[in-house]
Amino acid sequence: MRLYLTALKPTDSVTDGFLPAARALGCEVTILTDRPDQHAHPGTEVLHCDVRDARAVIDTVAHHRAPDAIFSNSDHIQAETALAAAYFGLPGKDWRACVDAKNKALTRRRLASAGVETVRSVRLAPGDPPPRDLPFPVVVKPREGVASEDVVLVGDADELSRVVRVIRDRRPGEALVVEEYLEGPLHTMETLGDGERIHVLGGFRTTLGPPPHFVEERLDWKGDPPGREHVLRALRALGVGFGACHTEYVMTPAGPRIIEVNYRVIGDHCDFLLADLLGVPLFELILGVHLGSAAAEPDPARGHGTALSLVADRSGTVVAAPGTVVPAPGERTRVWHRPLRAVGDRIDRNHTNRDYLGIVRAIGPDRAGVDAAVAAFTAGNPWVIA
């Protein structure tokens, strides 16, 4: 079987998740990427391709080897990948659902028109003045942003005008979204579908850093996420139901409200945490539906899991850092550490997920044991920035 995997920059999810899964499924893998010099995976073919253009993906595949699946885990090229899969008659996502999920303004329109929920929201095209008719506080964000970049809580009209100017200076020509602030606990719901059925794998309760920014600092397992029926209605309204999906939403006093729909598996090593919690080859299950298999529903997870992002609290240079840690076989509570930076790296704090230094993930029979293990690891293995 020939699997084409479209990619931008290398990620751990692809390198340590999907590529080993593809080999386990007996696939020959061809990576299509606009950055071939960054992808060096033994036994994996890499071809240069403008993966942001579906026509280029189709042309490259058509003049290479016949495909059995075309897949991507990148936020940015889901629609292009879906169009290429559809061209060759392969299982895949509806490209329109990919567009509606990625574009936060279209997400709001689709959910409102379907009667799922209404969130007061305004799309700002480049040059549009900031709105004055939304109740403050409001949240400003790029229409198609990722990693909490340029997502800011603002309290009044003057601050809104200033923040919009700052973001536009960094993102000239990009559209923004301004919407009412949704107050309440932040959750995720993780799903896997095959176009006919959607399985809820579970979810996480997300802890954010201090406002006005929205940096995700910690995720704790919630096996049966609250508001699941509302989230499923939202996914159906968007046409999302094939492959993996990671949805973020707030449990407001008025009920669940969607923050964003990420039409790919959860990231920041929570995909590995999810696989270990469920005790299944998650990456193989995801690729399986793209190869034509029905989506398997794993048994409920047992125990508790946590992912803690170690966030830089200042700018500076890393002078001390823990290395990679994997648990020893048989440990009751297992702890991993994945460094994302190295000694000597310069850190320019920007209040986004790009401030992550490393990620600690832990799994154990109960939350108390997991909390204790994470606290012990972080106390004994500090990151030092000077």
Give pLDDT tens digits for 214-268.
999 999 999 999 999 999 999 999 999 999 999 999 999 999 999 999 999 999 9
Q: What is the CATH number of the domain that holds 35?
A: 3.40.50.20
What is the per-residue pLDDT across 160-193, written as a single tens digit (0 to 9) for each?
A: 999 999 999 999 999 999 999 999 999 999 999 9
Q: What is the pLDDT of residue 252?
A: 98
Q: What is the pLDDT of residue 146?
A: 86
Task: Give the single-character DSSP code of 293.
Answer: P
Q: What is the CATH number of the domain that holds 169?
A: 3.30.1490.20
Q: Give SS3 for 273.
A: helix
Residue 260 is part of which domain span? 100-112+182-299
Residue 81, domain member (yes or no): yes
Q: Which of 130, 151, 180 is the last residue of a domain?
A: 180
What's the CA angle centered on 267, arms 28 and 58, to 5 degrees?
Answer: 40
Q: Give SS3 for 320.
A: strand
Q: Are residues 104 and 236 in the same domain?
A: yes
What is the per-residue pLDDT across 2-25, written as a single tens digit (0 to 9) for each?
A: 999 999 999 999 999 999 999 999
The amino acid occupying position 72 is S
Q: Are residues 190 and 294 in the same domain?
A: yes
Task: Reply yes or no on whether the pLDDT at 132 is more than 90.
Answer: no
Q: What is the pLDDT of residue 134?
A: 86
Considering the entire predicted model, what is its pTM? 0.96
Q: Which of 150, 165, 180 is the last residue of a domain?
A: 180
Task: Reply yes or no on whether the pLDDT at 202 is more than 90.
Answer: yes
Residue 161, domain member (yes or no): yes
Q: Which of 275, 299, 323 is the last residue of a domain?
A: 299
Q: Are residues 214 and 266 in the same domain?
A: yes
Looking at every residue in the chain, the average pLDDT score rounds to 96
What is the per-residue pLDDT across 83-99, written as a single tens digit (0 to 9) for each?
A: 999 999 999 999 999 99
Q: Which of 49-53, 153-157, 327-331, 376-380 has the lowest mean pLDDT?
A: 327-331
CA distance 337 to 357: 11
CA distance 257 to 116: 9
| Sheet of 69-72, strand order | 45-48, 28-33, 2-7, 69-72
Any residues with CB less than 8 A from the CB of 374 and at least 6 apart, and which? 306, 308, 335, 360, 362
Residue 95, domain member (yes or no): no
Q: Are residues 175 and 321 in the same domain?
A: no
Q: Which helix (H) or strand (E) holds 270?
A: helix 270-278
Q: Are residues 84 and 222 in the same domain?
A: no
Q: What is the pLDDT of residue 323?
A: 96
CA distance 58 to 284: 24
Q: What is the pLDDT of residue 342?
A: 96
Residue 203, domain member (yes or no): yes
| Sheet of 346-347, strand order | 346-347, 316-320, 384-385
Q: Are residues 125 and 259 in the same domain?
A: no
* Number of domains forming the structure of the chain: 4
Query: Could you write out the DSSP letters of every residue in 59-116?
Result: HHHHTS---SEEEE--GGGHHHHHHHHHHTT-S---HHHHHHHH-HHHHHHHHHHTTS
Q: Are residues 277 and 191 in the same domain?
A: yes
